[in-house]
Amino acid sequence: GYRSRAAYKLKQLDDLENVISGGDTVVDLGAAPGGWLEVAAEKVGPRGQVIGVDLQRIKDLEEPSVNDRIETLRGDMTEERTRERVTDAAGGTVDVVVSDMAPNMTGEYSLDQARSLHLARQAFETALELLDSGGNFVAKVFDGPDVDEFRAEVEEEFQYVRATTPKASRKESSELFLIAKGRLTAPVSEGD
Ligand code: SAM
């Protein structure tokens, strides 16, 4: 089994939209305890690479051959410094950026929702810094105000965007995932 139930969400998202391919380099934001890392490492296979980041320390996986494909960083993705470390670890552009980041819950929905959207926006900025053209992006966000506006911003940068809630997300939760496929090449500016 996987080390988190969350692993099944990434499996279902990938079944739906083929987010990760063999040989890909994947950046996983909010990766602890590591369920998505396990799924991503399986999907990229022996020629791929996965970089996981979290505020929490992430324990190594038991299987050394799979663990060899995974690098983990401890840090806060809302800090520029951490985003730089991720860029350095990637050493170039990447194929996929996924984020399952979630705030510490206060129980006050409007606050938790706003924090969740802020984390999704940080993930989007990271994706814009790191993703190769044609690359894919997935981000979790709690549904609520400004999610449509955020989705519209993501749509401008990708071939298409789909919002979905995988079965593995608890029924009572209002989380959704934006799956953005095919990062568009930077448009040629006028006058070029
Ligand atoms: N996808 C993971 C898995 O499969 O095991 C589960 C991720 S859990 C739902 C959300 C994670 O987001 C938490 O581990 C939390 O520490 C992390 N997180 C929240 N805010 C963060 C931030 N600012 N920077 C990095 N990680 C953050």
Q: What percent of the chain has pLDDT over 70?
A: 96
Q: What are the extents of the domains in the chain?
A: 7-183
Q: Give the CATH class of 7-183.
A: alpha beta
CA 1 to chain centroid = 21
For ligand 1, residues with CB inside 6 Å are 4, 6-7, 30-36, 53-56, 76-78, 100-102, 119
pTM reported for the whole predicted model: 0.96
The Cα 55–Cα 67 span in angstroms is 20
Report the chain's mean pLDDT, rounded to a whole number.
94
Could you list the beta-strand ranges (E) of the chain.
Answer: 25-29, 49-54, 70-74, 94-99, 131-142, 158-164, 175-183
Q: Which pLDDT belongs to residue 33?
A: 97
What's the average model confidence in pLDDT over 140-166? 97
* Alpha carbon of 7 to ligand 1 centroid (Å): 13
* Residue ID of nearest Cα to ligand 1 atom 27: 30
Q: Which pLDDT belongs to residue 27?
A: 98
Helix, strand, coil tally for the chain in percent (to 5): 35, 25, 40
Stronger pLDDT, 173 or 172, i.e. the higher one: 173
Residue 145 CB contacts under 8 Å (≥ 6 apart), including other chains: 110, 113, 114
pLDDT 10s digits, 59-101: 998 888 889 999 999 999 999 999 999 999 999 999 999 999 9
* Residue ID of nearest Cα to ligand 1 atom 16: 55
* Alpha carbon of 52 to ligand 1 centroid (Å): 10
Residue 107 CB contacts under 8 Å (≥ 6 apart), including other chains: none
